[in-house]
Structure 1
Amino acid sequence: MARINPYIHFNGNAEEAFIFYKSVFGGEFTRLMRYKDLSGPEYPIAEHDADRLMHVALPIGKSNVLLGSDVMEMMGRVTETDNRNTISISAESRHEADQLFSGLSAGGKIDMPLADGPFGAYFGMFTDKYGIQWMMDFTPDQQ
């Protein structure tokens, strides 16, 4: 069965927030990537966004993960009382990812189709027909 984890978006202070969350929940980050880690000819990143967090993961308890990132300035700002949350689903198989993505995105808007990404994850993003933002991934080596 797929796991669902909260994903929080920030306007440039994700690192500060996640250091705080880590001090409360304990544990260690299992992922911490900056936009500059992805930067290259295929993925040009503006200098002012380079040090922002592209992805951070903090395990909470036995099977949950608190996830987050900073929004790049070119994407605008998240309204801190409205659209800063995304539901992230980690599927158990590529087939399950395809099935859940297809079903949940029906009637909505696909922001990034499911595809193999640069860090090994099969990943996509969409907003469902009710305005809820979702991320879907399947990473074979984490199963």
Structure 2
Amino acid sequence: MALLACAPGTALAQKGPASDAAIGRQLDTLDYNYEIDADGDYQMVFDLDDERTQLVYVRSAIENYGSLSVREIWSPGFRIKQGEFPAVIANRLLLDSNSAKIGSWVRQGDMAMYVVKIDANASADQLSDAIDAAIKTADKLEQELTLGADEF
């Protein structure tokens, strides 16, 4: 179960055709406020203990590999203004991924996103734990790499 409360917001935006209603029901059970973005993913902003906020997405799409079905939880931690990630940043992300209990860093366009992959049929408590891991890990690295800025 996540230890953090979700920021006030819209309880449910208009559902897109690709949204997974089962995730919405789990988030409702957890009393998380969310919106559904244009991709059908569930977007939330959490208030953290130190007056910071953190953005997180629970993807509606399920990825499959053999008999495995996986859902992804994404949280941004760093944005590059242009070009490639500096080597020192890329290496820091790799080191953080190595020490993470669950999840790892990926590049998505101009952003470093922390991604936690869980079983597509995970319980609400397991989903909450994955969200908690994503937001705490992403915010911690955002603070480190941006000298305390809070963009996400």
Provide the TM-score with structure 2 as the length reference.
Answer: 0.35
- Structure with greater strand share of residues: 1
TM-score (norm 1): 0.36
